[in-house]
């Protein structure tokens, strides 16, 4: 099944906002095995919208529009799609009464501009917006390849997503010719794409028909997306589970989570479950690691705190790094990283102490220690050690990569 | 002048990446007074690209495409645009020799897949890619409203932007009927949109023809975009300067920078120019402020370091906050914030000490101190004080807003 996504709004055309709606819808439709062949962005102009929708319902069995609905848009999209199907706008009494009730329950009378939202094209199905005011509109249509479905949604991202999840995506999966799609995403860290390919060598031959595996790399981690397309939901699911087991048998130590998990969130759960506490000494990452850890709600249950040591004086004074160590090995060294990790653990009375010291650029490199040289130190009751990273030349990317490596080092240390 | 933006790539249609190229191009064209009427995303398919470009050159005098160029795409876009103008691909010797030299200078021989990048449609102008391999292609064409210009650019964002800035945008401004556009963006912080509107009341009547002022709010700051459209460049520029002076006379204390300045970058310059040093004690923001400060290259010249105090013990031990203060007023209070700021300044021997303590949510609020209650403390040689913020309920947004407010408090303290 082919799909067209139409996003409506001048704010998209002038680049005031980035079109995250289109990407999100593209991802969700792709998950369902629906092939998005075109995305179009047009202005809040009735004629432009009408043209785009006319072409889309000719080309695709699935059409999603977002935007151009609601009180500030004069419901221009409703008018445009009514013209496409050559129908009039009619007052939808159930939508009207809900909008009226909502205003009256807050002690307001209904503004004139909001009544237009209850005017929907004749023959369209309307769905009440629980998160906002503009309803969603659905319309079946005939297409040369079978029945088609047009979904007209508001542009506010959380309203659009709610309609898609609750109402629209389930309808697409019920369409004639739609297949059952199961997906699972495994999140890996600390392993490169080529190394993972090697570990999973032979996966292609173990992939039965309808199974597929995609490698989705990002800056410091790699997602594995497993997909099973099948006419039979149960069979599809059990094949997906087999594939997951096959992968985990070979690469489980690199897999830190699934789906929407974040590395800092997974690490937080591990620390909380074990009743362990963590303290961090950051030099080059300058708070980047602590910032990610404290993005997780409830981080105070396991994160005690940290020190940002942008000078050697602070490394000595607050963390007890020896002047001798700094003189002999320098601040970017195995020895300094180890002493920082041990120092912050002692100072904060934490179970685990983590440290980072390095040269992230653009300046500060030397022949022996070029930009991108980073040492991570880790200290627990059992032992203290350090590992070296060789990163690139871009400061911001290096901060991100060093932070991810540090979080993963804590994770693997806990698992040991 | 109307424009169409065509972005090419399966990764956009499946939602693997968000289409930031389209937004960036939309913003740049809008700055030049060019009206983007449609954006289209199509797959890496020659026929789809050809169709989209054919329609675009009929509709618009300005057409920009990105993507579908380069070794992994088989230069499908070059082939497609050649078909649009019914011309053959020809070897461009100058591009070929540059590609060959580049490979040979690294000791490699030229891979076969890279030679195709020197094949360009006959009658097109090619521009060497200094940041990558795929060249940019330009083609003038006849349009009912005057001469049109098609720009075919690679999809890698930094390559595309370099071509746009250096080669393409200057050409658009030279087109017949194009007007001279001058723009300036003033960056404000610490003032809400409605308050700024009040301060600038009457600006509309002082706006001569061709001048406009746009308010662009973001999470914790507000950009003011001044635009002057004129047939005469000098006259346009001087009117823009007048408008800027008018605004600065009324709102200068809220303006921290211009254009692409960041608050942390501006603050860094201020500290460096004055030879001042800074230390930070973060509780609720958990490293978020230090992270922003250390994103700026050379931050070690003025940023000494900081402490992340996620527990009261650490506030006492490392910063010298009195147990009595914590008992009597609590950790989220004017008194604790002040003692933290003074403590971190003393401890790190810095000229300025900054502190943040608060409840960012989702948990931890009470009736007296609801989620969103934050105290910022600041200490210099002259004085120590604290101010209260009332933020919202979203943890991540609160971290961002508190960080911006803290950076701005340091800025205004230095200026006093």
CATH of the domain at B249: 3.30.70.2860
Of the three residues A152, A173, A194, the one that is the final residue of a domain is A173
Task: Closest CB to B363: pick one of A293, A295, A297.
Answer: A297
Token pair for B205? 């009547």
Q: Inter-chain contact A37–B349, Cβ cutoff 8 Å? A: no
Q: Inter-chain contact A294–B306, Cβ cutoff 8 Å? A: no
State whether A34 and A162 are in the same domain: yes
**Mean pLDDT across B192-199:** 87
Q: What is the pLDDT of residue A287?
A: 97
Instruction: Express each pLDDT in A331-371 by its tens digit.
Output: 999 999 999 999 999 999 999 999 999 999 888 899 999 99
State the smallest CA–CA distance between residue A97 and chain B in angstroms.
Answer: 31
- Residue with more model confidence, B94 or A279: A279
State whether A23 and A156 are in the same domain: yes
State whether B25 and B139 are in the same domain: yes
Residue in A41, A332, A363 to test binding to B, most B beta-carbons within 10 Å: A41
- How many A-B residue pairs are in contact by the CB < 8 A criterion? 214
Q: What is the pLDDT of residue A74?
A: 61
Instruction: Express each pLDDT in A95-112 by its tens digit.
Output: 888 878 877 887 877 776
Task: Closest CB to B314: pick one of A40, A317, A348.
Answer: A348
Task: Closest CB to A305: pick one of B48, B288, B314.
Answer: B314
Q: What is the pLDDT of residue B410?
A: 97
**The total number of structural domains that make up chain B:** 3
Of the three residues A146, A173, A200, the one that is the final residue of a domain is A173
In this structure, the number of other CB atoms found within 10 A of the CB of residue B178 comes to 17
Cα torsion A17, A22, A25, A27: sign: negative
Instruction: Express each pLDDT in B63-85 by its tens digit.
Output: 999 998 765 556 789 999 999 99
State whether A57 and A18 are in the same domain: yes
Q: What is the pLDDT of residue A221?
A: 84
Instruction: Express each pLDDT in A246-257 by its tens digit.
Output: 999 999 999 999
Kindly tell me if the per-residue pLDDT of B246 is higher than 70. yes
Mean pLDDT value across chain B = 91
Of the three residues A173, A203, A223, the one that is the final residue of a domain is A173
Mention every residue, 6+ apart, whose C-beta is less than 8 A from residue A228: A181, A182, A183, A210, A211, A236, A237, A239, A240, A243
**What is the SS3 assignment for A53?**
helix
**Mean pLDDT across A216-240:** 85
State whether B311 and B331 are in the same domain: yes
**Mean pLDDT across B355-372:** 93
Q: Inter-chain contact B299–A310, Cβ cutoff 8 Å? A: yes
Kindly tell me if the per-residue pLDDT of A113 is higher than 80. no
State whether A203 and A275 are in the same domain: no
Token pair for A380? 């627990």
Task: Closest CB to B300: pick one of A287, A310, A318.
Answer: A310
Q: What is the pLDDT of residue A293?
A: 97
State the smallest CA–CA distance between residue B179 and chain A in angstroms.
Answer: 18
pLDDT band at A73 (very low <50, low <70, confident <90, very high): low
Q: Inter-chain contact A305–B307, Cβ cutoff 8 Å? A: yes
State whether B283 and B378 are in the same domain: yes
Task: Closest CB to A290: pick one of B19, B286, B349.
Answer: B286
Q: What is the pLDDT of residue B5?
A: 98
Q: What is the pLDDT of residue A148?
A: 96
Q: Quote the Cα angle for B345-B349-B352, to 5°.
A: 40
State whether A223 and A296 are in the same domain: no
Mean pLDDT value across chain A = 91
State the smallest CA–CA distance between residue B145 and chain A in angstroms.
Answer: 19
Q: What is the pLDDT of residue B72?
A: 58
Instruction: Express each pLDDT in A8-56 by its tens digit.
Output: 998 899 998 899 999 999 999 988 889 999 999 999 899 999 999 999 9
Contact between residue B208 and residue B216 where contact means Cβ atoms under 8 Å apart: no
Token pair for A358? 């390095």
State whether A163 and A220 are in the same domain: no
Instruction: Give the integer Cα–Cα distance in Å for A300 and A281.
Output: 17
- Segments forming the whole domain that contains residue B253: 180-258
Q: What are the backbone dihedrals phi and psi of residue A154, each rounded to the nearest 5 degrees, phi first?
A: -70, 165
Token pair for A344? 């912050």
Q: Enumerate the β-bridge partners of residue A91.
A: A119
pLDDT band at B2 (very low <50, low <70, confident <90, very high): very high
Q: Residue A62: enclosing H or E segment and its boundaries? A: strand A62-66
Whichever domain contains A387, its CATH number is 3.90.950.20
Q: What is the pLDDT of residue A344?
A: 97
> Which residues of chain B neighbour A304 with C-beta distances below 8 Å?
310-311, 313-314
The fraction of chain A above a pLDDT of 90, given in percent, is: 67
Kindly tell me if the per-residue pLDDT of A114 is higher than 80. no
- Residue with more model confidence, B180 or B46: B46
**Mean pLDDT across A158-184:** 88
Kindly report the pTM of this predicted structure. 0.79
State whether B151 and B195 are in the same domain: no
Instruction: Give the integer Cα–Cα distance in Å for B3 and B63.
Output: 6
Nearest to B259 by CA among B190, B189, B186, B191: B186
State whether A225 and A321 are in the same domain: no
Instruction: Give the integer Cα–Cα distance in Å for A83 and A45.
Output: 13
pLDDT band at B142 (very low <50, low <70, confident <90, very high): very high
State whether A367 and A298 are in the same domain: yes
Q: How far is residue A353 CA from its own chain's centroid?
A: 29
């Amino acid at each position: 099944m082919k799909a067209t996504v139409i996003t409506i709004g001048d704010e998209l055309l002038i680049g005031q906002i980035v079109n995250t709606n289109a990407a999100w819808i593209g991802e969700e439709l792709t998950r369902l095995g629906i092939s998005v062949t075109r995305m179009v962005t047009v202005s809040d102009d009735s004629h432009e919208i009408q043209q785009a929708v006319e072409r889309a319902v000719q080309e695709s069995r699935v059409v999603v529009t977002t935007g151009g609905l609601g009180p500030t848009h004069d419901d221009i999209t409703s008018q445009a799609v009514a013209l496409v199907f050559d129908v009039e706008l009619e007052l939808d009494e159930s939508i009207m009464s809900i909008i009226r009730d909502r205003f009256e329950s807050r002690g307001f009378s209904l503004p004139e501009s909001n009544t237009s939202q209850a005017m929907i094209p004749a023959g369209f199905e309307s769905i009440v917006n629980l998160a906002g005011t503009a309803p969603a509109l659905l319309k079946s249509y005939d297409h040369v390849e079978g029945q088609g479905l047009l979904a007209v949604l508001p542009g506010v991202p959380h309203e659009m997503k709610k309609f898609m999840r609750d109402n629209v995506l389930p309808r697409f999966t019920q369409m004639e010719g739609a297949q059952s799609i199961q997906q699972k995403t495994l999140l890996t860290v600390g392993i490169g794409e080529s190394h993972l390919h090697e570990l999973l060598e032979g996966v292609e031959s173990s992939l039965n028909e309808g199974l597929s595996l995609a490698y989705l790399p990002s800056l410091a981690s790699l997602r594995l997306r497993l997909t099973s397309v099948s006419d039979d939901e149960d069979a599809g699911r059990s094949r997906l589970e087999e594939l997951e087991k096959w992968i985990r048998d070979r690469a489980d130590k690199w897999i830190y989570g699934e789906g929407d998990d974040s590395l800092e969130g997974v690490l937080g759960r591990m620390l909380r479950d074990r009743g362990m506490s963590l303290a961090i000494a950051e030099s080059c990452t300058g708070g980047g690691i602590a910032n990610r850890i404290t993005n997780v709600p409830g981080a105070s249950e396991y994160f005690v705190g940290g020190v940002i040591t942008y000078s050697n004086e602070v490394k000595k004074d607050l963390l007890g790094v020896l002047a001798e160590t700094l003189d002999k090995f320098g601040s970017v060294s195995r020895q300094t990283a180890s002493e920082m990790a041990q120092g912050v653990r002692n100072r904060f009375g934490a179970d685990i102490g983590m440290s980072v010291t390095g040269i992230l650029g653009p300046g500060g490199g030397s022949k022996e220690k070029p930009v991108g040289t980073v040492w991570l130190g880790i200290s627990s009751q059992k032992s203290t050690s350090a590992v070296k990273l060789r990163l690139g030349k871009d400061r911001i990317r290096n901060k991100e990569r060093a932070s991810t490596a540090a979080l993963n080092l804590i994770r693997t240390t806990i698992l040991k």
